[in-house]
């Protein structure tokens, strides 16, 4: 119950799915948590659930594509908790589109949410951590995907965005290490996890939720669909000092998908 005790963690896209599971687990393990999302109702509920369970959390409405809002989120986090130790750039989006059917507006929307928000979140994490040093080490955890490692034919923009996050984070890790900033940066690469985003993806295929879950499970050698906590525990490891020698790495949690 104390793997990240005393740390301050910021989790974007924290209202549902992977973000909500991550925020709750980090709080359970001792972190003070800032939950951000454009989904105010669910985000406030996640913070309330954490506080009702004896944790310490606040919710901030946050459009991750707006740099001014990023600056405000970090200012509010420091104002409340004094610093930030862990940043989880989890907010993301996708849409089901073949490469020759992709339209530029949709492509740009995916890039804004999945890539540009990670860049802004990471940039201001570094600036904030330099000004208000973390308790031990800073940890930036950027959510990529199996689609950042292996192509998925009908997710062209998503593939590109998650590949960008993967390599961008490696450069950040090297910069922080070479400049002895005391900040680590890593990516997490989930397989298909049963979240509202994946459930929405199933709807676009015309399959029922039950059929879609079975089809997705079959894609993974382990024979199951992942659950949000499967990813949250990976994030917890990277947030904790247990991973103090880990930077520029890819934590793949995919039921064997990319081993094929």
The predicted pLDDT at position 115 comes to 98
Do 24 and 44 fall into the same domain?
A: yes
Q: Could you tell me if residue 3 is inside a domain?
A: no
Do 201 and 158 fall into the same domain?
A: no
Is residue 158 annotated as a catalytic residue, yes or no?
yes
Residues 6 or more apart whose CB falls under 8 angstroms from that of 33 comprise 8, 9, 10, 11, 14, 23, 26, 27, 47, 50, 55, 56, 57, 58
Question: pLDDT class for 197, splitting at 50, 70, 90?
Answer: confident
Do 211 and 116 fall into the same domain?
A: no
The predicted pLDDT at position 203 comes to 83
The predicted pLDDT at position 63 comes to 98
Do 43 and 69 fall into the same domain?
A: yes
Give the C-alpha separation, 260 to 256, whole Å.
7
Do 115 and 206 fall into the same domain?
A: no
The predicted pLDDT at position 131 comes to 98
The predicted pLDDT at position 117 comes to 98
The mean of the pLDDT values for the chain is 96
Do 187 and 104 fall into the same domain?
A: yes
Number of domains in the chain: 2
The predicted pLDDT at position 206 comes to 82
Do 60 and 82 fall into the same domain?
A: yes
Do 172 and 202 fall into the same domain?
A: no
Q: Could you tell me if residue 260 is inside a domain?
A: no
Least confident of 36-50, 137-151, 206-220: 206-220
What is the secondary structure of 26-60 as a DSSP string?
HHHTT-EEEEEES-HHHHHHHHHHHHHTT-EEEEE
Question: pLDDT class for 198, splitting at 50, 70, 90?
Answer: confident
Q: Could you tell me if residue 209 is inside a domain?
A: yes
Q: Over 80: is that where the pLDDT of 1 sits?
A: no
Do 179 and 206 fall into the same domain?
A: no
Q: What is the CATH number of the domain that holds 28?
A: 3.40.50.720
Question: Which of 158, 168, 201, 257 is labelled catalytic?
Answer: 158
Please give the model's pTM, rounded to 2 decimal places: 0.95
Residue 106 tokens, joined: 């949709």
CA angle 194, 235, 243 (to 5 degrees): 150
Q: Over 80: is that where the pLDDT of 20 sits?
A: yes
Do 147 and 209 fall into the same domain?
A: no
Residues 47-99 have pLDDT tens digits of 999 999 999 999 999 999 999 999 999 999 999 999 999 999 999 998 888 99
Phi, psi of 6 (to 5 degrees): 85, -5
Q: How far is CA 73 from CA 15, 90, 136, in A?
A: 16, 15, 22
The predicted pLDDT at position 92 comes to 96
Do 154 and 111 fall into the same domain?
A: yes
Question: pLDDT class for 202, splitting at 50, 70, 90?
Answer: confident
The predicted pLDDT at position 158 comes to 95
Residues 6 or more apart whose CB falls under 8 angstroms from that of 173 comprise 184, 185, 186, 247, 248, 249
Q: Could you tell me if residue 2 is inside a domain?
A: no
What average pLDDT does the segment 175-183 reach? 98
Q: Over 90: is that where the pLDDT of 207 sits?
A: no
Residues 113-157 have pLDDT tens digits of 999 999 999 999 999 999 999 999 999 999 999 999 999 999 999
What is the enclosing helix (H) or strand (E) of 213?
helix 209-218
Q: Over 80: is that where the pLDDT of 201 sits?
A: no
Q: Could you tell me if residue 83 is inside a domain?
A: yes
Domain range holding 205? 195-225
Q: Could you tell me if residue 258 is inside a domain?
A: no
Do 204 and 107 fall into the same domain?
A: no
The predicted pLDDT at position 245 comes to 98
User: Is 13 in contact with 94 (CB distance < 8 Å)?
Assistant: no
Q: Which residue has the tokens 């570094």?
A: 126
DSSP-assigned beta bridge partners for residue 126? none
């Amino acid at each position: 119950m104390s793997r990240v005790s005393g740390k301050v963690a910021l989790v974007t896209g924290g209202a549902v799915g992977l973000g909500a599971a991550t925020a709750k687990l980090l709080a359970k393990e001792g972190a003070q948590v800032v939950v951000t999302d454009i989904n105010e109702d669910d985000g406030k509920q996640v913070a309330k659930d954490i506080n009702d369970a004896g944790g310490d959390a606040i919710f901030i409405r946050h459009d991750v594509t707006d740099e001014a809002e990023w600056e405000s989120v970090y200012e509010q986090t420091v104002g409340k908790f004094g610093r930030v130790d862990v940043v989880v750039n989890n907010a993301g989006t996708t849409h089901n589109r073949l490469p020759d059917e992709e339209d530029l507006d949709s492509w740009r929307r995916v890039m804004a949410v999945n890539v540009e928000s990670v860049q802004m979140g990471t940039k201001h994490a570094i600036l904030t951590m330099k000004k208000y040093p973390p308790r031990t080490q800073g940890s930036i955890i950027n959510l990529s995907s199996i689609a950042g490692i292996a192509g998925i034919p009908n997710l062209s923009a998503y593939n590109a965005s998650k590949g960008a996050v993967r390599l961008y984070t490696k450069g950040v890790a090297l910069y922080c290490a070479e400049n002895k900033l005391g900040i680590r940066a890593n990516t997490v690469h989930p397989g298909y996890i049963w979240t509202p985003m994946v459930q929405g993806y199933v709807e676009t295929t015309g399959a029922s939720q039950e059929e879609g879950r079975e089809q997705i499970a079959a894609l993974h050698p382990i024979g199951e669909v992942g659950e949000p906590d499967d990813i949250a525990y990976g994030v917890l490891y990277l947030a904790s000092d247990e991973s103090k020698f880990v930077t520029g790495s890819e934590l793949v949690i995919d039921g064997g998908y990319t081993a094929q």
